[in-house]
Amino acid sequence: MKFRFILDNPGAREDRDGNPFVCGTRQTLQKAANHVGLTMKDLYVTFILKRKPVRAYDKEKVRQICMNHLYHQMQAKQPAFILCLGNTAVQSFFQNPDTDVKTLRGTTHDVNGYRTVVAYHPLAVRRRLNLWSRFIDDWEYIAKKL
C-alpha cells in the first residue's frame, strides 16, 4: 500500500537531481516511517509545485495550475492515503488559505474523495525539535488507520 506525501515544492538539490528525498527531509521521513514499521518503498512523494521557484511568481495562480496536475496524477495513481506535510501543502490541497496543520492534525479528512491527514513539514520538525513527538503521533495515527 502506498502513501502519497504531498510537500510544498522540491528543494534546489531535489529539483536538480530529480530525487524527491534528499538531506533533512529524507532523514526525517525515514526515521518517522521506520518508527511505525514502514520503509521508503511504501512512500510516494509528490509536490504542489513541480519545480523549485527561482524568482517571484503569482503564488495563487501557479498553485492552482499545479493542483490541476496533482489531481490528474492522483487519479492515475489512486493513493490509499494522503499525508499533506506543512501548511503550504495543506492550504493548497484543502483549497483553503486559512487552514493550518495545527488545527487539522490528528483526524482523517475527506478531500475530494481521498482519505487525507496532515502533519508538520519534516524540515519544520528538524528546526523545532519540540514538534518531533507530534510528528510521530501523526505517523502512528496513520499506521493505526491502515
3-class secondary-structure state, position 139: helix
132-145 and 23-35 helices, crossing angle to 10°: 50
For the chain, the average pLDDT equals: 81
pLDDT number for residue 20: 57
pLDDT number for residue 73: 82
How far apart (Å, rounded) are the C-alpha atoms in residues 32 and 37?
9
How far apart (Å, rounded) are the C-alpha atoms in residues 138 and 32?
9
Q: Taking the domain 3-145, which CATH number applies?
A: 3.40.470.10
Q: What are the residue ranges spanned by the domains of the chain? A: 3-145
pLDDT number for residue 1: 47
Lookup result for grid cell 512512500: 43
Query: Would the pLDDT of 27 be above 70?
Result: yes
Query: Would the pLDDT of 70 be above 90?
Result: no
Rama region for 65: left / alpha / beta (φ>0; ψ in -120 to 50; rest): alpha
For the record, the C-alpha cell of 133 comes out as 513527538
Instruction: Give the pTM.
Output: 0.81
